[in-house]
């Protein structure tokens, strides 16, 4: 059944993601590919000597460093230019490889072949993975997971130097691969292997080398960008509120791992509440899941090493992306559950019992996930389908409101678009894109005074964000439409910042 299992996993990936090949670029794909000169014409020196998002927006550098991800996108561009099919095909191929790695990990844990196959199939068709697979910008998640799991498999075979290289490739794809040394240690503990301190030291050396390389390239060992409240409001609240809210987000991930029904491409400011009290069902669920998984991993390492490692992989996988340790660039993102979900899929397979009832239940779960994934792919066809779907799930998100406004505008519902632009700015008063969209729409409608007010609001937002030149340009747009508008505060403050 061994070879049949491999083909079944590959076939499952191909079937549920067949629709992804017909999707275009959506959301972050536009900046990642269409607006990225390095992806389109960069040399190896550009790829390995530049920042991740800094290659796209030099004025808003993040000091991120993911050259392997950019290298694969550059290869796609060399193959198909700006035709999306090859980018999507590579993502599906990478997902199939990760799913096969899950199958191998399950086998090495000692799971029976059918249970190992169940873990791999669940991972292959899990609907929560659609963002990581169907969105081309999810490429980093796939590569990081592949580096971690492949490294773990060769680590198990006693080949630490090859494992070190695979770990390095994963870490150069995305920073969340940093969990590999901890996973390798957990693997050896639950497998009752002799602890290989030389190997762990080599993995630690990769981490040190990665930060040193990023320091040399970007001038910063750690990302130093200021996280905007729009992207992650947890970066600007108290530690207590961050921990409460981040734990609640873990509860939401737990729900989506079990039942990925209501999926959204965006959880920006306004989509999720900031908690000030632990008396919240999502917080309680998140706390119980993480505390229970941690306790279970420790308690079961002798009796049930398969369960122990699955629980450890779930907890360790979420650690760097949970906002519990440090605030990251987003409050919640479905793609961030890609690597942690390996632990969940192993856990489900490990608790399976022989019998028709269990097999029937598993078949229903797999078919349900497969159907949800196939349908979800259609949401990623383009920005219009994506943000129409997102608005049904997270209408409170400022970014979703703004982008849904653009969708309505394209459909001819200009009044509806203006409502959404106004909502987005009300949720996030520094949302310059929303003001700009409102301004352009009102200009097109021939309503100059209202357009001038939108431009003035945008100018003040730009000034608050520290962009005086852009603020003056927006103020000039407002004055052209309404010479009587009062913008002395903007002009005086911007002039002072520019030394005029």
CB atoms within 10 A of CB 41: 11
pLDDT for res 219: 76
> Over 90: is that where the pLDDT of 12 sits?
yes
- Only one residue has tokens 């929303």, namely 434
Smallest CA-to-CA distance from 225 within 60, 67, 66 is with: 60
Give 48-76 pLDDT, tens digit per residue.
Answer: 988 776 544 444 445 578 999 999 999 99
CA gap 405, 421 in Å, rounded: 6
pLDDT for res 409: 96
Task: Give pTM, 2 decimals.
Answer: 0.93
Name all contacts of 286-292 with Cβ < 8 Å and 24+ positions apart.
Answer: 286/247, 286/248, 286/249, 286/250, 286/251, 286/252, 286/253, 286/254, 287/247, 287/251, 289/250, 289/251, 289/254, 290/247, 290/250, 290/315, 290/318
Domain boundaries, the chain: 2-379, 395-497
pLDDT for res 497: 83
Please answer whether residues 321 and 336 qualify as being in contact, where contact means their C-beta atoms are separated by less than 8 angstroms. Answer: yes
CB atoms within 10 A of CB 279: 9
CB atoms within 10 A of CB 444: 11
Q: Does the domain at residues 395-497 carry the CATH identifier 1.25.40.10?
A: yes
CA gap 431, 311 in Å, rounded: 40
**What phi and psi values does residue 198 have, to the nearest 5 degrees?**
-65, -40
pLDDT for res 307: 94
Indicate the average pLDDT of the chain.
Answer: 92
**Average pLDDT of the segment spanning 21-32:** 93
45: exposed, middle or buried (Cβ count in 10 Å: 0-12, 13-18, 19+): exposed
Output the six-digit token pair for 45. Answer: 């020196």
- Only one residue has tokens 């409460």, namely 244
Give 460-495 pLDDT, tens digit per residue.
Answer: 999 999 899 999 999 999 999 999 999 889 888 988
Q: Supply the angle between the helices 414-427 and 398-410 in degrees, to the nearest 10.
A: 170
Contacts of 151 (CB under 8 A, 6+ apart): 163, 164, 166, 167, 170, 180, 184
pLDDT for res 216: 86
Contacts of 198 (CB under 8 A, 6+ apart): 160
Contacts of 281 (CB under 8 A, 6+ apart): 251
pLDDT for res 360: 87
Give 134-186 pLDDT, tens digit per residue.
Answer: 999 999 999 999 999 999 999 999 999 999 999 999 999 999 999 999 999 99
Output the six-digit token pair for 238. Answer: 């108290």
Give 404-434 pLDDT, tens digit per residue.
Answer: 999 999 999 999 999 999 999 999 999 999 9
Output the six-digit token pair for 165. Answer: 């290289």
> Over 60: is that where the pLDDT of 363 sits?
yes
Output the six-digit token pair for 467. Answer: 């962009």
Give 113-131 pLDDT, tens digit per residue.
Answer: 999 999 999 999 999 999 9
pLDDT for res 57: 45
> Over 70: is that where the pLDDT of 369 sits?
yes
**Average pLDDT of the segment spanning 1-5:** 75
CA dist 165 → 20, 54, 160, 400, 478 (Å): 31, 26, 9, 40, 55
Give 213-270 pLDDT, tens digit per residue.
Answer: 988 887 776 655 567 889 999 988 999 999 999 999 999 999 999 999 999 999 999 9
């Amino acid at each position: 059944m061994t070879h049949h299992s491999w083909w079944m996993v590959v076939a499952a990936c191909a079937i549920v993601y067949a629709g992804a090949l017909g999707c275009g670029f959506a959301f972050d794909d536009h900046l990642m590919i269409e607006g990225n000169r390095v992806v389109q014409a960069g040399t190896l020196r550009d790829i390995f000597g530049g920042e991740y998002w800094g290659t796209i927006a030099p004025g808003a550098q993040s000091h991120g460093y993911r050259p392997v991800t950019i290298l694969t996108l550059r290869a796609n561009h060399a193959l198909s230019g700006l035709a999306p099919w090859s980018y999507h095909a590579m993502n599906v191929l990478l997902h199939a490889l990760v799913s096969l790695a899950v199958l191998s990990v399950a086998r090495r844990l000692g799971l029976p072949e059918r249970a190992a196959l169940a873990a791999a199939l669940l991972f292959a068709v899990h609907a929560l993975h659609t963002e990581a697979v169907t969105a081309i910008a999810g490429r980093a998640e796939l590569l990081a997971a592949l580096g971690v799991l492949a490294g773990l498999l060769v680590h198990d075979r006693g080949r630490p130097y090859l494992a070190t290289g695979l770990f390095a490739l994963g870490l150069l794809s995305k920073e969340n691969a940093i969990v590999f040394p901890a996973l390798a240690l957990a693997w050896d503990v639950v497998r009752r292997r002799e602890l290989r301190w030389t190997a762990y030291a080599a993995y630690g050396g990769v981490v040190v080398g990665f930060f040193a390389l990023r320091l040399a390239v970007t001038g910063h060992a750690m990302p130093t960008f200021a996280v905007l409240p729009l992207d992650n409001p947890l970066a600007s609240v108290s530690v207590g509120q961050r921990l409460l809210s981040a734990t609640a987000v873990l509860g939401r991930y737990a729900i989506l791992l079990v039942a990925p029904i209501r999926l959204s491409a965006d959880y920006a400011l306004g989509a999720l509440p900031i908690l000030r009290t632990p008396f919240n069902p999502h917080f309680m669920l998140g706390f119980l899941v993480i505390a229970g998984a941690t306790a279970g991993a420790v308690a079961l390492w002798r009796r049930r090493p398969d369960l122990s490692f699955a629980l450890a992989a779930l907890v360790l996988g979420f650690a760097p992306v949970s906002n519990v340790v440090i605030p990251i660039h987003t409050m919640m993102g479905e793609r961030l559950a890609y690597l942690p979900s390996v632990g969940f899929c192993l856990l489900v397979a490990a608790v399976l019992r022989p019998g028709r009832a269990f097999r029937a239940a598993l078949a229903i779960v797999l078919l349900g996930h497969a159907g949800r994934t196939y349908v979800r792919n259609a949401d990623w066809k383009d920005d219009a389908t994506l943000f129409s779907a997102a608005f049904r799930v997270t209408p409170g998100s400022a970014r979703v409101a703004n982008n849904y406004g653009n969708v309505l505008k394209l459909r001819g519902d200009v009044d509806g678009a203006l409502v959404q632009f106004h909502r987005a700015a009300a949720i996030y008063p520094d949302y310059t894109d929303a003001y700009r969209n409102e301004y352009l729409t009102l200009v097109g409608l021939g309503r100059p005074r209202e357009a001038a007010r939108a431009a003035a609001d945008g100018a003040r937002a730009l000034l608050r964000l520290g962009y005086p030149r852009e603020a003056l340009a927006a103020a000039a747009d407002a004055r052209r439409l309404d010479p009587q508008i009062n913008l002395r505060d903007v002009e005086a403050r911007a002039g002072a910042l520019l030394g005029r």
